[in-house]
Amino acid sequence: MNDKKPLLPVKSDFVFKLIFGDRRNVDILGDFLKSVLDIPDEEYEHIIVVDPHIKKESKNDKYGILDVKIHTKNGQIIHVEIQVEPMPDMKQRIIYDQSKLITEQISSGDKWAVIKRTVTIVITNYTFVPEDGKYHHQFRYRTDDGVEFTNLTEINTLELSKLPSDTDSSKLWYWMKFIKSDDREVLDMIAERSPQMRKAVGVLKELSADERTRMLYEEREKARRDEASRTDGAVKDAQKEIARKLLKRNRPIDEIIEDTGLMYDEIVLLK
């Protein structure tokens, strides 16, 4: 195995799914879930990684993709996704995806009791909950004084950007460090924490040494960068069009800079 090649980043959705979404790695997935969720251990005795796509109800329906979708022993539904870059309206999309996972459980004529608990885990590489410095938040339906309405839905956020450099001695910290780090020495240290973490580090090294996996990862990253470039270009074109209209109205350049976000030289060229 070539240890000189850099390790693939686990925080890439592609690599994350190859490790945690592979049915051969349910022991890795189960150990990670135990570090995040307050679910009895027996629920992990039989976990199933299922199709990661949310079904569309119609041709015009929005289509969400979940990185990893899991059924536990008693039918609870867990879905895990990772976001490297900030996404507009992320909170709305999380609620939409979770609602789809609830509604797809029940058919016409079914009793409401068939609905199983649905848990979402969202891992971000940026600050998602700016209100405090904690890297793990658990959101449930509760009153301000802690009375719970139902435990049928739960959303967990894990923010890699907030992970402290020094361990807090929790298993979750080590799993988060595994997802965040690409340093071989750090990962070798993490591998000593448990058999599941040792296996996860080994899987990452195997994936990183595989030429086909690296090629697929690089193709995906190129596609992502191309899409980001197209989006940035469309935004820039829209800003310039607004600037042209404002110039025609003889608006001062400093106001156009404030309204469009363009640089002074860019506006002068348009003028």
pLDDT at 259: 77
Report residue 208 as tokens.
């990183």
Other Cβ atoms less than 10 A from the Cβ of 69: the count is: 20
pLDDT at 8: 95
Pairwise pLDDT comparison (4 vs 47), residue with the higher score: 47
pLDDT at 95 over 90: yes
Question: 48-67, pLDDT tens digit by residue?
Answer: 888 544 444 444 444 344 46
For the chain, what's the residue count? 271
The residues spanned by each domain of the chain are: 13-209, 222-270
Question: 136-151, pLDDT tens digit by residue?
Answer: 999 999 999 989 999 9
Pairing of strands 77-83, 118-124: parallel
For the residues 178-197, what does the mean pLDDT come to?
A: 95
Cα gap 214→229, rounded to integer Å: 22
The residues pairing with 48 across neighbouring beta strands, listed in sequence order, are: 71
Cα gap 270→104, rounded to integer Å: 52
pLDDT at 58: 45
Q: Is 170 exposed, middle or buried (0-12, 13-18, 19+ CB in 10 A)?
A: exposed
List own/partner pairs for 182-189 with CB under 8 A and 24 or more apart.
182/6, 182/7, 182/8, 182/9, 182/10, 184/3, 184/7, 187/7
